[in-house]
Amino acid sequence: MIEGLKVCIPTAELRELCIASAEFHHERAATYDAQINNLKAAQVEGMNYTNGNPIESLTERKDEHEAGEMEMRFIAKYLKEGEEYLLDRDELLRFGVLGDKGGRRRRW
């Protein structure tokens, strides 16, 4: 008996989800990197009304997305062929299957 929301996903489909998630993180990291470079070029510094250093904040977000990309690519690389993976709701959200993660809602 399975309690809660659990979904069996074949290896090939889970690998696709991992790669799509990695690409999402890659694109977000690139966006933050561009914003950081623009702020540095404009010599923008933290001001009182920004609640801190915008470059530092953007760098933290960029780092999070770079780590997310590395994690998803690692998982995709080491999935066991021919298996089904039982994912719960939180894992499905993490892969962007449920909800709207950064505007990349999937149409199933």
pLDDT digits (tens, 9 = 90+) for 52-99: 788 889 999 999 999 999 999 999 999 999 999 999 988 988 887 876
The pLDDT of residue 102 is above 80: no
Backbone angles phi, psi at 2, to 5 degrees: -100, 130
Q: Token match 């979904």: residue?
A: 7
Say which residue, 44 or 101, is predicted with more confidence.
Answer: 44
Domain coordinates of the chain in residue numbers?
6-94
Give the number of other Cβ atoms within 10 Å of residue 9's Cβ.
Answer: 19
- Non-local (6+) Cβ contacts of 64 within 8 A are none
Mean pLDDT of 10-38: 95
Give the pLDDT band of residue 107 (cuts 50, 70, 90): very low
| Token pair 């892969």 in the structure block, residue | 95
